[in-house]
Amino acid sequence: MTNACGVDFGTSNSTVGWTRPGQPALLALEDGNRTLPSAVFFNAEEDAVSFGRAALADYLAGYEGRLMRSLKSLLGTSLIDGQTEVLGRALPFRMLLAQFIAELKRRSEAAAGRTFERAVFGRPVYFVDGDAGADRVAENTLREIGLAAGYREVAFQYEPIAAAFDYESRIDREELVLIADIGGGTSDFSLIRLGPQRAGKSERRDDILANGGIHIGGTDFDKYLSLSCVMPQLGLGSRLKSQSEVPSSYYFNLATWHTINLAYTQRAERELQDIHRDAVERDKIGRLLHLVRHREGHWLAMRVEEGKIALSDTGHARLELDRLSPPLDVALDGERFDEAIAHLTADVERAVSGLLRDAGIAADAVDTVFFTGGSSGVPLLRRRIAATVPNARQVEGDRFGSIGAGLALDAGRKFG
């Protein structure tokens, strides 16, 4: 058994995998769960730090403190070199990411009963769209963070390729497969030849026909669902007495996971107080001001995320927003959701078509489309991807586990 592991540091959830004979690859990271939500809560009342589900529970319980989520989204942005204030102290974002990954390492080693000195980290095909230099910087940053968290050696694998390795371990014939990995922050694709005879090869470069991706994922679907269906109830699109529109920046910050805390500055609250005085629809701005004063942005984002999941499963949902003042009850339906994310899914469809074009492969030559990633269940997205490969059968992977399991296989091959 190797002392190397596979680390899927995800925008929404993270996993760690370890290859061992006759055992499942993914390790239990929190109360028997194989996933750890990528969240950290700094509890000001108890001067303590919690992670994962415990972090979300502490935040929702109303403890005074600071919740950080979607940490991976900082990679490839200028924010990664900045800092935030936590419990009255300045905390660099790099240190925050290293703290979370060190916790992943600690928990995985406790579950495995051994230390992991080497790790293969999953990475999106593009951390940054259309900027190869910035993409390299983002990967190097993640490598430095992994080393700071305690790994002696860090390698990388594209996340859709890792998912391909997991799928390949379960098939008995050769296939040309489109891997569609729809995560929290990115949609990544690989076109690859898989099969039992190919699985044992140490070098798979010739089997990979094309990789591609786009910086659109589940948090973007949350964002535009919120902007379409919830934020108008807090004043988005409303007007001041001067007939100018209420600035939209507050709503975009609150609808975007990794910028929610920007809405909590003293300056932002003062500006909102002025807007409230001059607003035509003061009740709506009052809700917004209450939300900001009580720092309920992450709670609202979680409620919208739950609505998105319900819409993906059943086509309808109801959000009971009882922490707003006055409270709101918002009905959601699949048609409105489709309208809100249509521009995003069109961009994803174009990315898949471009992948096929780059590979020189006809759409009807693809045997299988393998869906994985936590956001791969969004119906409109699935329909648009499937339409690009009309003859391919659709296979459902483990939405939260395929990448981690594949990274574990790759770690065994890379480090022995």
- Mean pLDDT across the chain: 94
Give dist(CA 79, CA 351) in Å, integer.
Answer: 27
The total number of residues written for the chain in this structure: 416
Q: Are 307 and 332 in contact (CB under 8 A)?
A: yes
User: Got the DSSP string for 102-161?
Assistant: HHHHHHHHHHHTS---EEEEEE-S-SSTT-HHHHHHHHHHHHHHHHHTT-SEEEEEEHHH
Give residue 189's Cα distance to chain centre: 15
Rg (CA), the chain: 22
**Consecutive H or E run containing 318:** strand 316-321
| Cβ count within 10 A of residue 218 | 29
What six digits make up the tokens of 109?
């080693």
- Binned at pLDDT 50, 70 and 90, residue 301 comes out as very high
Residue indicated by tokens 């935030």: 84
* Tokens 């108890």 found at: 46
| For residues 326-333, average pLDDT | 95
pLDDT at 124 > cutoff 80: yes
Per residue in 73-90, pLDDT tens?
999 888 899 888 887 788
Q: What is the mean pLDDT of residues 108-126?
A: 96
**Is-contact 363 388, C-beta < 8 A?**
yes
Q: Does pLDDT of 254 surpass 90?
A: yes
Q: What is the CATH number of domain 4-173+397-415?
A: 3.30.420.40
pLDDT band at 122 (very low <50, low <70, confident <90, very high): very high
The answer to pTM > 0.95 is no
Distances (CA, A) of 67 to 40, 249, 288, 326, 335: 6, 21, 19, 24, 32
- For residues 13 and 16, what is the distance between their CA atoms, to the nearest angstrom? 11
For residue range 281-291, list pLDDT tens digits in order. 999 999 999 99
Provide the pairing of β-strand 65-69 with 208-214.
unpaired
Q: Where are the domains of the chain?
A: 4-173+397-415
Residue 22 reports pLDDT greater than 90: no
Neighbour-count burial of 389, counting CB atoms closer than 10 A to its CB (0-12 exposed, 13-18 middle, 19+ buried): buried
- For the segment 15-24, the average pLDDT, to the nearest whole number, is 92
Q: What is the pLDDT of residue 241?
A: 96
Per cent of the chain over pLDDT 90 is 87
Of 378, 368, 414, 384, the closest CA to residue 399 belongs to 378
| 382: Cβ contacts below 8 Å, ≥ 6 apart | 371, 376, 394
How large is the average pLDDT for residues 150-171?
95
Query: Is the pLDDT assigned to residue 416 strictly greater than 90?
Result: no
On the question of pLDDT at 4 being above 80, the answer is yes
Per-residue confidence band for 8, with pLDDT thresholds at 50, 70 and 90: very high
Residue 342 pLDDT greater than 90, yes or no: yes
The pLDDT score that the predictor gives to residue 248 is 97
pLDDT for 201 equals 75
**Which residues, other chains included, contact 205 with Cβ-Cβ below 8 Å and sequence gap of 6+?**
none
pLDDT for 84 equals 83
Residue 2, pLDDT above cutoff 80: no
pLDDT tens string 36-69: 999 999 999 988 999 999 999 999 999 988 899 9
Task: For residue 205, name the pLDDT band (cuts at 50, 70, 90).
Answer: confident
Cα separations in angstroms, 55 against 49, 59, 62, 242, 358? 8, 6, 11, 43, 43
Burial code of 170-198, b = ≥16 C-beta within 10 A, e = fewer? ebeeebbbbbbbbbbbbbbbbbbbbeeee
pLDDT(297) > 80: yes
Interval 364-375: pLDDT, tens: 999 999 999 999
Write down the pLDDT at residue 221. Answer: 97
